[in-house]
């Protein structure tokens, strides 16, 4: 009797538990969402704060770090951690510039296709561009009222490192969360905050 009562209470309380259901977008929802994403292609610069949460299956709490990102269309990206450590990376001119607490190095990625893919993915994710359907199975989803895109790698090379990438959008169709799920099901969440669009970004941000 007690067990039945417990199940009844669980079912009753489930809708208040904050477990938003995920479902496929309808055709009209998808068309409307894709149209709204096209408007984001007008974005020339983005600056934002981010908090990174690394979830390991055996840990109670995620490992947390935070920093700032700057994106300047078409090919400049600055990604810097400010807490709990200082580490800055700038992607530009087919090179990665790194400043690790004063220790600087440059990695020339030349015509690396891998680098191009990362750059395109970050840029299109942040600016709402089209997703490469040759590389990913793209699923358009709804989580509660929020829009969500799930990218599942198709190619064996990418599958070794990433199981899926989930992008969560705010009501104004801005990316507010990126989740990278690894083959082990451990995952990293990047929560984007204080996003500013099309403001002037000082060129010195991209100089290391």
Q: Catalog residues that contact another protein under the rule CB under 8 A.
A: 52, 54, 56-61, 63-65, 81, 84-85, 87, 100, 105, 160-161, 180, 182-184, 186, 188
In the complex with another protein, which residue's Cβ is closer, 176 or 182? Answer: 182
Report the candidate in 151, 159, 194, 156 with the shortest Cα–Cα distance to residue 174: 194
Closest separation between CB of residue 28 and another protein, Å?
Answer: 36
Tell me the CA end-to-end span of the chain in Å, nearest whole number: 68
Closest separation between CB of residue 16 and another protein, Å?
Answer: 29
Angstrom distances, CA of residue 136 to CA of 37, 68, 72, 120, 160: 18, 27, 25, 13, 14
- 56 close to 200: Cβ distance less than 8 angstroms: no
In the complex with another protein, which residue's Cβ is closer, 25 or 178? Answer: 178
In the complex with another protein, which residue's Cβ is closer, 12 or 156? Answer: 156
- In order, the DSSP letters of 156-173 are HHHHTT-SEEEEEE-TTS
Beta strands in 16-134 (DSSP E): 22-24, 45-55, 63-72, 76-83, 87-92, 95-100, 103-108
Q: How many CB atoms lie within 10 A of CB 167?
A: 20
Closest separation between CB of residue 71 and another protein, Å?
Answer: 16
In the complex with another protein, which residue's Cβ is closer, 10 or 56? Answer: 56
Closest separation between CB of residue 104 and another protein, Å?
Answer: 11
In the complex with another protein, which residue's Cβ is closer, 8 or 85? Answer: 85
Closest separation between CB of residue 39 and another protein, Å?
Answer: 29
Closest separation between CB of residue 57 and another protein, Å?
Answer: 8
- 188 close to 53: Cβ distance less than 8 angstroms: yes
- 92 close to 106: Cβ distance less than 8 angstroms: no
In the complex with another protein, which residue's Cβ is closer, 46 or 89? Answer: 89
């Amino acid at each position: 009797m007690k067990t039945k009562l417990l199940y009844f209470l669980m079912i009753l309380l489930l809708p208040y538990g904050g477990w938003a259901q995920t479902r496929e977008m309808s055709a009209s929802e998808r068309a409307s969402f894709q149209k709204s994403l096209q408007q984001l292609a007008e974005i020339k610069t983005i600056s934002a704060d981010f908090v990174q949460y690394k979830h390991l299956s055996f840990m109670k709490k995620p490992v947390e770090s935070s920093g700032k990102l700057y994106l300047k269309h078409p090919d400049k990206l600055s990604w810097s951690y400010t807490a709990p450590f200082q580490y800055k990376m700038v992607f530009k001119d087919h090179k990665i510039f790194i400043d690790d607490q004063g220790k600087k190095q440059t990695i020339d990625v030349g015509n690396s296709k891998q680098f191009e893919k990362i750059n395109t993915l970050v840029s299109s994710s942040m600016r709402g561009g089209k997703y490469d359907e040759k590389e990913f199975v793209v699923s358009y989803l709804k989580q509660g009222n929020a829009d969500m895109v799930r990218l599942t790698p198709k190619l064996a090379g990418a599958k070794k490192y990433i199981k899926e990438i989930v992008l969560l959008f705010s009501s104004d169709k801005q990316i507010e969360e990126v989740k990278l799920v690894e083959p082990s099901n451990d995952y990293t969440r990047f929560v984007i905050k204080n996003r500013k669009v099309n403001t002037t970004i000082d060129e010195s941000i991209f100089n290391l």
